[in-house]
Amino acid sequence: MSAGRPARLAVGVVSAGRVGAVVGAALAAAGHRVVAASGVSRASVNRAETLLPGVPLVPPDEAATDADLVLLAVPDDVLPGLVRGLAAAGCFRPGQIVVHTSGAQGVAVLDPAVVHGVLPLALHPVMTFTGRVEDVARLAGASVAVTATAGHEAAWSVGEALVVEMGAEPVRVPESVRPLYHAALAHGANHLITLVRDCVDVLERAGVHPAERLVAPLLSAALDNALRHGDRALTGPVARGDSGTVRTHLRELGAVDPDLAATYRVLAARTARRAERAGLLPAHAADEVRATLDEEKEA
C-alpha cells in the first residue's frame, strides 16, 4: 500500500448506524469494497439495504475479521469495550487498518488492536448525519478530523488519503486536543439546535406562525455573518448596550420559561464580553448591561 494512496481495500463496517453506513457508502464510492457490515436493529437493516446494497449483515467479529479496513462507527462510550472485545476475540491482524469515527477519542483507544499489528486511525467527519443517501454527498463537502500516531507520518498520510478519496477535506487534529476539539464542536452544533428550537418554541407560544419560516433568513444570515466576520457580526440590544431592552427580554422570557431566561442571561453576559472586546460596546455600556443582568438574576 502506498502511503499517499491506499490500495483497494475490503471494508468491514461495525456498525451500520447513521455514521457507519454513510462512511461505508462513501468508501465504496471511492472504489473500496464493503464486504460485511454489522447491524441488528430494523433501522440499521433498512439503512444497510439502502446505502450498502448487497453487503451481508454479520456479527461484529465477522465483519472485522474479514476486512482490510475495519470501520468502527459506534457511540463514544461503546468504543473502548468494543475494541477490547474484538482484540480478545482475535479479530485483528497485522496490516489491517482500524478506523474509528468517534470525535472525542484519538488513536489511544485502539491500543488493544495495535498490539496485533494494525494501523490505527481516528477519522471524525465534521458534520451531522441522518443516515440517508444525501449524507454521502454532504460528506464530500465536509472536513474530516484525522488523528494518527504521533511521529508516524505514513499513518497520517494514509488517513488523509482515505479522506480525500471520499471527497472530503482532511484536517490534522493531534491526539492531545481531541477531547477539547470535540467539546467545541458539540457546543456549537448541538447547542445551536437547542437555541434555534427555543426561539421557535417561544414564537409559537406567542402565537407567531409559521415560526420556522419567519426566523430562517435571520438565523441563516447570522450564522453566515458570524463565520465571515467574527465578533464584528454581533448585533442586537446587548451589542448596542440597550439595557432597558435586555431587562424587558428577561422579564418576558422569565414569565414563559425561567430556565430559558437563565440561558438568555448567560449568553447575554458572554455576548457583552465579546462585543466589548471587539470594540463594538464601550466599557461603560458593557458595565450597564452586566449590572442589568445581575439585577435581574437577583430579582
Ordered by where they begin, the domains of the chain are 10-173 (3.40.50.720), 181-298 (1.10.1040)
What's residue 299's pLDDT? Answer: 65
Residue 273, exposed/middle/buried by CB under 10 A (0-12, 13-18, 19+)?
Answer: middle
Each residue's pLDDT tens digit, 183-232: 999 999 999 999 999 999 999 999 999 999 999 999 999 999 999 999 99
Strands 169-172 and 143-147: parallel
Each residue's pLDDT tens digit, 268-291: 999 999 999 999 999 999 999 999
Each residue's pLDDT tens digit, 155-190: 999 999 999 999 999 999 999 999 999 999 999 999
Task: Name the average pLDDT for the chain.
Answer: 96
Taking the CA of residue 44 as centre, how many other CA atoms within 13 Å lie in the half-sphere pointing to its CB? 20
What are 13's strand-pairing partners?
37, 71
Name the pLDDT band for 297 (thresholds 50, 70, 90): confident
Q: Please say whether the beta carbons of 173 and 156 come within 8 A.
A: no
Name the pLDDT band for 1 (thresholds 50, 70, 90): very low
Each residue's pLDDT tens digit, 77-87: 999 999 999 99
> What is the pTM for the complete model shown?
0.91
Cell numbers placing 258: 425561567
Q: Where are any strands of DSSP class E within 167-276?
A: 169-172
How many Å apart are CA 68 and CA 40, to the nearest integer?
23
